[in-house]
């Protein structure tokens, strides 16, 4: 495990920023997010660049093509994989020339959180297991250094300066395109995810919570089905309520946001999100994602991570009211 983290903190971060560079939208987990529109627009493919393949995601959603990435997007996804093969996955060479190269908020904040847990595991092993072949002290020193450089550089890479910010109401966090050296200013769920790692100041989190209450729950009569976060802003021109990461509600990022709220003492707000998720799955099933207005289940059915996270919130929630939720 530590070698995997070391790879991400070195070969995927030669800048020594403590933040991860991705070479493919799939690495982010947000496959067709509007964040990738501009980086992907620079990529031109032809039939000769692509192998023959069948889109099994179309089968999984029973032909509901409006809920998943377009063929044009998917062709570019496959092209990037084929390009990686041509580089023989040489990270150093890819870093020099790859056409898609982005410092990603969600990947970076998940790794930051994972490094905290890796540090705890290392401390336990160092205390309870005496192995001459393993230098746990060195591992702990390395992980502490990774955490430190992430904390020192997170705002620098992901928060535009006030002169670069596009709103006076809330300075949002944005992925950073290393090809153009510019922030990708798309209002998506990624902009709110730094709360998950506890890397923000209390003042920053207070502003985010106030903004969410107004922007998603009462803005000009626009109201989502449950008090959950959609995958993009509701009023942006790239919002599509049923299309993958372009508008629908996903349980996984709401679960992450809820944990972030708990870290900052927002227990009531966290409980509201938890209850919203419970009501969503009770009404519309264990689905991959959901229409933010109607709650209709979309994408894959009987989706495992939705089920797993619901179970987690039932079993690992100090605020759950068992009688109320029977």
Q: Is 189 contained in some domain? A: no
Confidence of residue 320 (pLDDT cuts 50, 70, 90): very low
Question: Do 126 and 261 sit in the same domain of this protein?
Answer: no
Question: Do 28 and 155 sit in the same domain of this protein?
Answer: yes
Q: What is the CA radius of gyration of the chain?
A: 21
Q: List CB contacts of 128: < 8 A, sequence separation 6 or more.
A: none
Q: Is 194 contained in some domain? A: no
Question: Do 127 and 206 sit in the same domain of this protein?
Answer: no
Q: List CB contacts of 115: < 8 A, sequence separation 6 or more.
A: 5, 143, 146, 147, 150
| Residues 196/188, Cβ–Cβ less than 8 Å | no
Q: Tell me the percentage of the chain whose pLDDT exceeds 90.
A: 70
Q: Is 104 contained in some domain? A: yes
Sign, CA torsion 94/98/103/109: negative
Question: Do 40 and 82 sit in the same domain of this protein?
Answer: yes
Rounded CA-CA distance 93/108 in Å is 22
Question: Do 41 and 172 sit in the same domain of this protein?
Answer: yes
Q: Is 186 contained in some domain? A: no
Rounded CA-CA distance 23/27 in Å is 7
Q: Is 185 contained in some domain? A: no
Question: Do 76 and 119 sit in the same domain of this protein?
Answer: yes
pTM for the model stands at: 0.90
HSE, CB side, 13 Å, CA atoms: give it for residue 76. Answer: 21
Question: Do 116 and 22 sit in the same domain of this protein?
Answer: yes
Question: Do 272 and 161 sit in the same domain of this protein?
Answer: no
Number of domains in the chain: 2
First to last CA, the chain: 39
pLDDT in tens, 141-198: 999 999 999 999 999 999 998 656 565 567 899 999 999 999 999 999 999 999 999 9
Enclosing domain of residue 48: 2-177
Look at 86 and 64; give whichever has higher pLDDT: 86
Question: Do 123 and 214 sit in the same domain of this protein?
Answer: no
């Amino acid at each position: 495990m530590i070698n995997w983290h070391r790879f991400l903190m070195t070969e995927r971060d030669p800048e020594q920023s403590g933040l991860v560079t991705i070479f493919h939208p799939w690495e982010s987990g947000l496959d067709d997010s509007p964040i990738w529109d501009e980086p992907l627009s620079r990529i031109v493919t032809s039939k000769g660049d692509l192998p023959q393949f069948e889109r099994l995601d179309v089968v999984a959603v029973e032909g509901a093509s409006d809920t998943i990435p377009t063929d044009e997007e998917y062709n570019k996804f496959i092209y990037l994989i084929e390009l990686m093969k041509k580089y023989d996955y040489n990270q150093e060479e890819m870093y020099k020339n790859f056409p898609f190269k982005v410092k990603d908020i969600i990947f970076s904040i998940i790794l930051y959180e994972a490094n905290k847990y890796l540090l705890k595991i290392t401390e336990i092993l160092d205390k309870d297991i005496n192995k001459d072949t393993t230098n746990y002290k060195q591992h702990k020193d390395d992980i502490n250094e990774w955490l430190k450089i992430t904390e020192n550089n997170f705002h620098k890479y992901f928060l535009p300066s006030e002169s670069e910010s596009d709103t006076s109401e809330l300075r949002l966090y944005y992925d950073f395109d290393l090809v153009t050296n510019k922030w990708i200013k798309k209002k998506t769920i990624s902009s709110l995810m730094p709360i998950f790692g506890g890397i923000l100041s209390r003042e920053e989190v207070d502003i985010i919570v106030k903004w969410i209450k107004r922007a998603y729950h009462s803005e000009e009569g626009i109201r989502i089905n449950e008090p959950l976060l959609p995958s993009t802003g509701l009023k942006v021109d790239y919002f599509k309520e049923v299309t993958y990461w372009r508008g629908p509600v996903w349980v996984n990022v709401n679960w992450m946001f809820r944990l972030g709220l708990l870290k900052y003492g927002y227990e009531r707000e966290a409980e509201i999100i938890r209850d919203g998720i419970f009501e969503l799955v009770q009404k519309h099933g264990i689905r991959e994602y959901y229409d933010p207005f109607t709650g209709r289940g979309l994408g894959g059915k009987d989706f495992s991570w939705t089920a797993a996270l619901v179970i987690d919130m039932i079993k690992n929630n100090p605020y759950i009211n068992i009688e109320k939720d029977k």
